[in-house]
Structure 1
Amino acid sequence: MRLHQCWTTAAVAIFVLTGAAFAEVTVSQSNDPTQAIGEQFASLLGAEHKTVDALPDSKQTALAIGPKVETKLKPGKKAGKPMIVDYSADWLAALPAPSGDAEWECLRKALYFESRGESLKGQFAVAEVILNRVDSAAYPDTVCGVVQQGGKGGCQFSYVCDGMRDSMSEAAALDEAGRIARVMLDGAPRVLTLGATHFHTRASNPSWARRFPQTAAIGAHLFYRQP
C-alpha cells in the first residue's frame, strides 16, 4: 500500500513539474523578441517580393545584374591582350620609336646608366626591379621617386649621386634603353626576377645580400627580393 502511494505521489510530482516546465517554455517563447523580429522581417520580405514581381522584366533584370562599374586603367597601362616579350634585338627594333613623359625619361636614364652593356634580359631585369619598387609600399610610388631616392650611405642607384656628369652619348644604347622603358611601362610581364627589389654586380657584396633571398642571376647582376 505504501509502495503504491509512493508511486502515485511520484507520478503526480512528475506531472506537475513537467507541466510547469512546459508552461515556462511556452511563456518564454511567447515573450522572445527574436520571434517578433523574425515575423516582421518575413512580412517585409513578402511585401518586397510582391513589389519586385510587379516590375517589368527589364527592370527585374537590371536589379539582378546591378549597376555597371567602369574600370579605369592606370596611366601608362594599355588594355588588351597580355604583352608577349621576345627579349630579342629584332623584336625590340621592330617596335615603334619610343617616347614618353617624365616617368619614361627617368626609367630610360636609369636603364642606360645601371644596365648599359648587359643583355636585353639583363636590362629588362633591372627595369623589373625599379617597377617592383614602385609597386611596393616601402618605396616611392613613381619611377622618378624610386631612382632618385636617397638612403643610408648614399643613393639607391649609384649614377644619381656619383658626382659624374650624366652624359648619355651612346646613341644605340640610349635607344635600346628607351624601347625597354616603353615596353615595361606599357605593361610587359615581369617574369625574370620573381619580384626582385634589389640587385648588385657580382663584384660587390652588400650587407643586405646576406639577409634577402636571391631570386635570379642574369649577366653581371644578382637579384634579390626584400622580405
Structure 2
Amino acid sequence: MRRFLPAILAVFMLTSAAPAEIASGQAGDPDTKARFGQTLFSGTKLKALLGIERRAKTTEIEYSRAWIDARPPVKARGAEWQCLAEALYFEARGESTKGQFAVAEVILNRVDDDYYPASLCDVVNQGTGRKYQCQFTYTCDGLSDKIREPQAYERVGKVARLMMDGAPRELTSGATHYHTKAVSPSWSRKFKRTATIGVHHFYRQPTRVSQN
C-alpha cells in the first residue's frame, strides 16, 4: 500500500544536530488509551496561526481501528486538516492506528518547533518540487497523489482531526523525525531514538543552540 521508494524511505532529511536525550518507546498496542482535552496544543505557534480558540472535549482515546471507525465523520476540515490527512494517508495508512497517531505527532511537533515552518501544510510540503529533497517522499516522488482508498482516507482524517483538536502527544517523546525499519539514514546514527511503532523508528532532533 505504501508508495515509498526503497532508496528514500527515510522520511526526513538530515538537519544540523548534537546528541539528544534518549527516551524509550513502545510498540503498537491496540488497547492503549489516553486522555486529552486540557489544551489545544503543547505549543502555541500553530494555534495562533490558525486562530483556533475552542478546546477539545475531554474524551478517551483508544489506539484501535475499531474505535476510530466508530467515531463520527469529520465535519471541520479545511486546508490544514487536508494537508495532515493526506500526509497520514500516503505515509501511514497501512500502519496501526497507534502508528498513524505517531506520525501525526511528528508533523505537529515540527509545527511547534521554530526550526521548521509554522503551519501543517508548510511542514508537509517543505522541499516539495526538489526531487528526493522533500521532507515527505510522496510530495516529490513523481507519482500520482490521487486518493484511491476513500475508507482509509476517512480513517486517517479522523486521526488528523483528533490531533488538531488536542489529542496528547505521548507516543514518540517529542520526535521530529522517523524512518522505516528497511533503511538506516545517516542522521539516525546521530539522533537518539525515542520510539519504535510498527515499521517506523522515531527520533527527536537534538536541541539547537544559537551561536552568539
Q: TM-score, normalised by structure 1?
A: 0.64
Query: Which protein is richer in helix relative to its size?
Result: 1
Alignment equivalent of 1:225, drawn from 194, 204, 210: 204
Partner of 1:98: 74
- Conserved? CA contact 1:77–1:187, under 8 Å: no
What code does the residue aligned with 1:96 have? P
Alignment equivalent of 1:216, drawn from 185, 195, 199: 195
- The question of 1:157 aligning with 2:142 is answered no
Is 2:157 the counterpart of 1:175? no
Residue of structure 1 in register with 2:92 after alignment = 115
Q: 2:121 is aligned with what amino acid?
A: C
> Between the two proteins, what is the percent identity of the paired residues?
55
Q: What amino acid is aligned across from residue 121 of structure 1 in structure 2? A: K
CA contact (8 A) 1:200 1:222 kept: yes
1:132·1:197 contact (CA, 8 Å) conserved in 2?
Answer: yes
Corresponding residue for 1:136?
113
What amino acid sits opposite 1:103 in the alignment? Answer: E
Deviations, residues 96-155 of structure 1 (Å, cap 9, x unaligned)? 211411000000000000001100000100000000000001100100000000189500
Query: Which has more radius of gyration?
Result: 1
Q: 1:135 to 1:83 in 2, by over 3 A?
A: farther
State the secondary structure of the residue aligned to 2:72: coil
Q: Call closer, same or farther: CA 1:88–1:176 in 2, change over 3 Å.
A: same
Distance across 1 between alignment mates of 2:204 and 2:137: 19
Local SS of the residue matching 1:208: helix
Conserved 8 A contact 1:83-1:188: no
Higher RCO (CA < 8 A, seq sep 6+): 2
The CA RMSD measured in Å over matched residues stands at 1.8
Aligned partners of 1:97 and 1:179 also within 8 Å: yes
Report SS of the residue matched to 1:150: coil
Confirm or deny: 8 A CA contact 2:176 2:204 kept in the other structure. yes
User: For the Cα contact (< 8 Å) 1:78–1:187, is it kept in 2?
Assistant: no
Distance 1:80 1:203 in 2: 37
Please list every run of 5 or more consecutive structure 2 residues that lacks an aligned counterpart in the other structure: 1-46, 207-212
Q: Provide the residue aligned with 2:145 in structure 1.
A: 166
Number of corresponding residues: 155
Structure 1 distance, partners of 2:150, 2:175, is 29
8 Å Cα contact 2:195/2:203 also seen in 1 = yes
User: What's the counterpart of residue 55 of structure 2?
Assistant: 79
Q: Is the 8 A contact 2:180 2:199 kept in 1?
A: yes
Q: Deviation string for 1:45-85 (max 9, x for gaps)?
A: xxxxxxxxxxxxxxxxxxxxxxxxxxxx7544632654431
SS at match of 1:154: coil
TM-score (norm 2): 0.69
| Residues 212/82 of structure 1: CA separation in 2 closer, same or farther (3 Å cut) | farther
Aligned to 2:22: none
The amino acid of 1:122's aligned partner reads G
Q: SS in structure 1 opposite 2:110?
A: helix
